[in-house]
């Protein structure tokens, strides 16, 4: 009897020791944007980083990783890279030297290209919550990269579809010459060619081109009497184009404006005026119980009201899901008794399939892209006097066969 | 009667709420270096600033008026010059009364220039480049530290005390490094110490280039090395010193910067026994209270000898400097504007937790900063650096009082 008790105690001790030794903490390195490189506050970046921390807390507090494993993203391993490429490689290399399993965030396409290259060089997975440049689709070029968004062509071509629906025949086109901008340019060229829309004037420029130069382009648009403008540039550049539109009085009845980026909720007055009535594509978030729970948790965490149609909220939700993708990938490996390494995690990430707060998250077998992501077109209704923030309304969603279903009653055009 | 009383109450309520103002501060602080290395001193300096704001507000130091530093107005500028102009432009366009932080000299020089262009005061807790001293060149800039010559000259005094007669010298070519170079040139000349090899290089020079320089000093058998470079570059030099076996008995090492906790093992090993100057915090009731407050605020154990703690204290005081300036403006019944902040900031004199803080009208430098020399005793098992004070500047004589018994020399040799 005494021997049996001793055996039992021995078994319990062995069980405890082995279960304890199996519990691991997986370190994450984060590259998030809190301010742009010019010091402008990026509310969407704040939401994205907060949501990433929320996801980690949720996973840890609810023991959502098998064997009581934990995720950790230490402040010292979370860098504000300002959505800017110039030091992104050095920052990524510094993170890689630490004992991290994966790099997260990398929400801006130009720096994401550099970070994805570093990922490939050092064989460490990079998962992005927002970089949607076409170039990043390629698994051959970026074998250690994956993203919870679809590439920009999936977004940008719907702007041209909408323009076509509105019987637009010619337009001026503004794009940046970074990796993302060039990818978008290809899509726009191909889409306008399909629809028989003429690009009457085209302006390609580097990211962060100064306001004076942008103004001079807009002067040309005005002088040529062009009424329709399409913009595919990162948010700060898009904001400058809107500022120029306001300056030259082009936000008037009869004109239309399309841009691939949603402006932040707290933009300057002239930017808000210049952009009123413009259209932008965005992920469509279905009001599921998961999304509602996420919204409430984010609201509590940020201690402020949240506009579920804001760019910041979309990025927050996508960021939450990019961390959840890691959780699912790790659990899948554990189920198969596969050791968690950078290499196995990368492989496992490509095979996850789960319902996140942004809908079903799963990836193409051939690219780095999330597939079948629901999209919508939102329309700026300008400044909401109650919240003093930019108000966006959904004016179109996609049908099952990929066609735009447009609700004209919700459209507010420039000058109205 | 009741009506009159009600009107009086409404009047008092309205006017008092009208009087209460919120002064927004902008911040340019470092959390990571531009290559992504974590700057833990940056974390502590932000904690110090936040604690000061809390103290000012909870003690009603400014009456009903309050300080505020919104997180969206605090930018991590990575201790780097790139994009400073754009960041300054963005912050200046907001309704903030002053920009704080500005701890790294090369970017601080740009900020100080732009402070004049945009008409906004810049308060720094750590930028100590000599060029920033001039109130004529930088009228909108002020700092709670003394210029680097005040610090680095003492390294050479210490070298002379040890009867060192020749050194190899490493410096960066940013404004701070150039200023430090002048000081070292002058001090070595005064003390008849010969610089037999000098290496000048831009910030963030690669490890392989640094290795070549240090290797050369090993080949030439130079035994004494003086370094005046920012921390990331200093770390690279210490790594090279370790690599080429220069950290050994008989050699001496001097550097302007204190290494931070959790540094790379090679850098820690290469730096054992080196000397570094830093502000000395005089014992006071204020300091004791601050230690307790910071412990409670950060929920962390503190090493009061660490660079992190000293930077937090300096940061606390640079916020108090703004509050004290506002008190002077209010005393003269003038509005609190950016221009009045500039006009009054050099007139303050108060006792901070880092000692007395006052200025001459023609300089941006704090007067009579207490200085001490620290000596690296390596790192503990958790990676925290262990610095021991081995000398301090006698405030009366200006000479170093050295406690040789506490010195640990390169190679880990004690006296």
Distance from CA of A138 to the nearest CA of B (A): 27
- pLDDT at B17 > cutoff 50: no
Say yes or no: A29 and A128 in one domain: yes
Residue B9 binned pLDDT confidence (cut-offs 50, 70, 90): low
In this prediction, residue A152 has a pLDDT band, given cuts at 50, 70 and 90, of confident
| β-bridge pairing A145-147 and A102-105 | unpaired
> What CATH number does residue A320 fall under?
3.40.50.2300
Query: Do residue B197 and residue B249 come from a single domain?
Result: yes
A110-146 tens-digit pLDDT: 999 999 999 999 999 999 999 988 889 999 999 999 9
pLDDT at B194: 97
A380 and A263 both lie in a single domain: yes
pLDDT exceeds cutoff 60 at B8: no
* Residue of chain A whose Cα is closest to the Cα of B73: A41
CA distances to A301, B131, B181, B310 from B233, in Å = 39, 21, 15, 21
Of the partner residues A38, A75, A77, the one whose CB lies closest to the CB of residue B83: A38
What CA–CA distances, in Å, run from B287 to A285, B160, B312, B389, B410? 53, 33, 12, 17, 32
- On whether residue B71 sits in a domain, the answer given is yes
- Identify the pLDDT of residue A234: 87
Domain shared by B134 and B153, yes or no: no
Give the separation between CA B42 and CA B103, rounded to whole angstroms: 9
Do residues B128 and B24 both lie within one domain?
yes
Average pLDDT, integer, range A171-200 = 93
Contact B164, B224 (CB under 8 A): yes
| pLDDT tens digits for range B64-110 | 999 999 999 999 999 999 999 999 999 999 999 999 999 999 999 99
Is pLDDT of B32 > 90?
A: yes
Q: Could you tell me the residue range of the domain that residue A388 belongs to?
A: 153-284+375-410
Residues B329 and B190 in one domain: no
The answer to whether the Cβ–Cβ distance between A35 and B76 falls below 8 Å is yes
Q: Do B83 and B61 reside in the same domain of the chain?
A: yes
What's the CATH code of the domain at B92?
3.40.50.2300
- Whether the pLDDT of residue B15 is over 80: the answer is no
My answer on whether B134 and B76 are in the same domain is: yes
Residue B181 has pLDDT above 70, yes or no: yes
Residues A133 and A163 grouped into a single domain: no
Which of residues B263 and B338 earns the better pLDDT score? B338
Has residue B186 been placed in a domain? yes
Indicate whether B378 and B287 sit together in one domain.
Answer: no
Task: List residues bridging with A114 in a β-sheet.
Answer: none
Residue A159 sits in the same domain as residue A277: yes
In the 8-state DSSP scheme, what is residue A81? -
Q: What is the DSSP letter of A101?
A: S
> Which residue in the set A38, A76, A95 is minimally distant from B87, CB to CB?
A38
CA B240 to CA B246: how far, in whole Å? 9
Beta strand extents in A206-325 (DSSP E only): 228-232, 256-259, 279-283
Q: Is A210 exposed, middle or buried (0-12, 13-18, 19+ CB in 10 A)?
A: exposed
- Residues from chain B that touch A79, judged by Cβ atoms under 8 A, are 31-32, 36
Q: Is A37 on the interface with B (CB under 8 A)?
A: yes
d(CA A84, CA A90): 12
- Decide if B82 and A86 are in contact by the 8 Å CB cutoff: yes
Q: Are residues A392 and A346 in the same domain?
A: no
Work out how many domains chain B is built from and give that number: 2
- A327 in the same domain as A261: no
What local confidence, expressed as pLDDT, does residue B255 receive? Answer: 97
Q: Does B78 touch chain A (CB under 8 A)?
A: yes
Helices (H) and strands (E) in chain B, counts: 12, 18
Q: Compute the nearest-CA separation of A44 from chain B (Å).
A: 12
CB A30 within 8 Å of CB A96:
no
Same domain, B273 and B160: yes
In this structure, the dihedral spanned by the alpha carbons of residues A125, A130, A134 and A140, taken in order and rounded to 10 degrees, is: 10
Distance in Å, alpha carbon of B13 to nearest chain A alpha carbon: 26
Q: Which positions 123-162 of A are in contact with B (Cβ < 8 Å)?
A: none
Residue A18 phi/psi, 5-degree rounding, is -70, -40
Q: What was the ipTM of the complex prediction?
A: 0.84
Residues B260-313 pLDDT 10s: 888 889 999 999 999 999 989 999 999 999 999 999 999 988 888 888 999 999
Same domain, B54 and B85: yes
Q: Give the tokens for residue A118.
A: 């570093």
- Check whether residue B338 and residue B265 sit in a common domain: no
Q: What is the pLDDT of residue A21?
A: 52
Query: Quick one: A82 and A180 in the same domain?
Result: no
Average pLDDT over residues B50-76: 97
Question: pLDDT value at position B26?
Answer: 98
Interface of B with A in 30-49 (CB under 8 A): 31-32, 34-38, 40, 43
Q: Which CA distances in Å does B51 have to A221, A353, B55, B293?
A: 52, 46, 6, 8
Residues in chain A with CB shorter than 8 Å from the CB of B88 are 39
Number of structural domains chain A divides into: 2
Are A41 and B88 within 8 A, CB to CB? no
According to DSSP, the residues that pair with A279 across neighbouring strands are A258, A379
Residue with tokens 């290496």: B199
Rounded CA-CA distance A198/A188 in Å is: 11
Chain A touched by B143 (CB under 8 Å): no
Q: Please report whether residue B47 resides in a domain.
A: yes
In this predicted structure, the answer to whether residue A3 has a pLDDT above a threshold of 70 is: no
Q: Is B206 at the interface with chain A, CB within 8 A?
A: no
Q: What is the domain extent for residue B407?
A: 149-279+371-414
> Which range, of A44-58, A238-252, A257-271, averages the lowest pLDDT?
A257-271
Which chain A residues have a beta carbon less than 8 Å from that of B75? 35, 39
Domain for residue A207, yes or no? Answer: yes
Q: What's the pLDDT band for B329 if we cut at 50, 70, 90? A: very high
Nearest CA in chain B to A42: B72
Name the residue in chain B with its Cα closest to that of A36.
Answer: B87
């Amino acid at each position: 009897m005494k021997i049996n008790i001793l055996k039992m105690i021995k078994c319990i001790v062995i069980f405890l020791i082995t279960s304890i030794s199996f519990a691991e903490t997986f370190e994450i390195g984060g590259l998030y944007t809190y301010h742009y490189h010019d010091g402008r506050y990026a509310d969407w970046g704040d939401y994205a980083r907060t949501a990433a921390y929320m996801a980690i807390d949720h996973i840890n507090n609810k023991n959502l990783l098998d064997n009581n494993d934990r995720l950790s993203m230490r402040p010292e391993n979370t860098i504000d890279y300002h959505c800017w490429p110039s030091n992104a490689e050095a920052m990524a290399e510094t993170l890689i030297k630490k004992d991290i399993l994966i790099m997260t965030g990398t929400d801006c396409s130009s720096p994401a290209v550099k970070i994805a290259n570093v990922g490939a060089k050092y064989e460490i997975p990079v998962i992005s919550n927002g970089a949607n440049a076409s170039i990043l689709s390629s698994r051959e070029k970026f074998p250690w990269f994956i993203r919870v968004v679809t590439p920009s062509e999936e977004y940008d071509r719907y702007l041209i579809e909408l323009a076509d629906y509105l019987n637009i025949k010619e337009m001026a086109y503004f794009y940046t010459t970074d990796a993302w901008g060039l990818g978008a340019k290809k899509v726009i060229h191909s889409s306008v060619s399909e629809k028989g829309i003429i690009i009457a004037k085209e302006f390609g420029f580097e990211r962060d081109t100064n306001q004076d130069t942008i103004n001079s382009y807009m002067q040309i648009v005005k002088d040529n009497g062009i009424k329709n403008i399409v913009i595919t540039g990162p948010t700060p550049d898009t904001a400058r184009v809107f500022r120029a539109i306001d300056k030259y009085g082009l936000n008037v009845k009869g004109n239309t404006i399309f841009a691939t980026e949603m402006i932040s909720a707290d933009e300057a007055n002239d930017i808000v005026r210049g952009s009123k009535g413009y259209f932008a594509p965005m992920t469509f978030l279905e009001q599921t119980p998961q999304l509602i729970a996420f919204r409430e948790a984010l609201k509590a965490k940020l201690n402020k009201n949240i506009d579920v149609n804001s760019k910041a909220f979309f990025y927050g939700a996508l960021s939450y899901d990019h961390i959840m993708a890691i959780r699912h990938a790790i659990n899948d490996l554990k189920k198969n008794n596969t050791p968690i390494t950078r290499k196995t995690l990368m492989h496992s990430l490509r095979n996850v399939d789960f319902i996140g707060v942004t809908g079903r998250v799963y990836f193409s077998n051939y690219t780095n892209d999330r597939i079948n992501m629901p999209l919508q077109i939102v329309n700026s209704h300008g400044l909401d006097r109650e919240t003093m923030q930019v108000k966006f309304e959904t004016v179109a969603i996609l049908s099952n066969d990929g066609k735009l279903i447009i609700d004209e009653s919700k459209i507010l055009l420039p000058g109205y | 009667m009741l009506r009159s009383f009600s009107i009086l109450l409404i009047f008092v309520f309205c006017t008092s709420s009208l009087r209460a103002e919120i002064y927004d501060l902008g911040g340019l602080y470092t959390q990571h270096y531009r290559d992504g290395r974590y700057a833990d001193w940056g974390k502590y300096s932000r904690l110090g600033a936040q604690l000061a704001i809390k103290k000012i507000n909870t003690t009603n130091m400014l009456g009903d008026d309050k300080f505020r530093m919104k997180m969206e107005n605090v930018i991590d500028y990575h201790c780097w010059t790139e994009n400073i102009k754009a960041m300054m432009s963005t912050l200046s366009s907001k309704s903030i009364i002053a920009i704080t932080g500005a701890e790294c000299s090369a970017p601080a020089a740009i900020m100080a220039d732009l402070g004049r262009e945009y008409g906004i005061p810049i308060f720094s807790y750590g930028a100590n480049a000599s060029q920033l001293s001039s109130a004529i060149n930088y009228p909108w800039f002020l700092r709670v530290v003394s210029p680097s010559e005040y610090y680095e000259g003492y390294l050479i005094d210490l070298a002379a005390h040890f009867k060192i007669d020749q050194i190899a010298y490493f410096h960066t070519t940013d404004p701070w490094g150039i200023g430090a170079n002048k000081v070292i040139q002058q001090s070595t000349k005064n003390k008849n110490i010969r610089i037999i090899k000098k290496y000048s290089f831009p910030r963030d020079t690669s490890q392989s280039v640094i290795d070549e320089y240090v290797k050369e000093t090993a080949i030439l058998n130079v035994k004494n090395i003086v370094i005046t470079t920012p921390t990331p570059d200093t770390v690279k030099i210490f790594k090279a010193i370790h690599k080429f076996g220069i950290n050994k008995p008989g050699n001496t090492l001097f550097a302007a910067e204190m290494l931070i906790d959790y540094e790379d093992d090679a850098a820690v090993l290469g730096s054992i026994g080196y000397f570094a100057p830093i502000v000395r915090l005089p014992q006071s009731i204020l300091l004791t209270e601050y230690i307790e407050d910071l412990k409670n605020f950060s929920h962390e154990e503190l090493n009061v000898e660490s660079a992190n703690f000293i930077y937090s204290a300096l940061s606390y005081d640079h916020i108090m400097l703004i509050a004290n300036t506002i008190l002077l403006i209010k005393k003269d019944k003038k509005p609190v504007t950016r221009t009045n902040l500039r006009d009054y900031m050099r007139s303050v004199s108060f006792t901070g937790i880092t000692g007395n803080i006052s200025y001459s009208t023609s300089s941006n430098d704090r007067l009579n900063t207490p200085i001490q020399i620290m000596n690296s005793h390596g790192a503990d098992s958790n990676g925290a650096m262990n610095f021991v004070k081995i000398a301090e500047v006698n405030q009366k004589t200006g000479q170093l009082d050295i406690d040789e018994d506490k010195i640990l020399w390169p190679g880990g040799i004690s006296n």
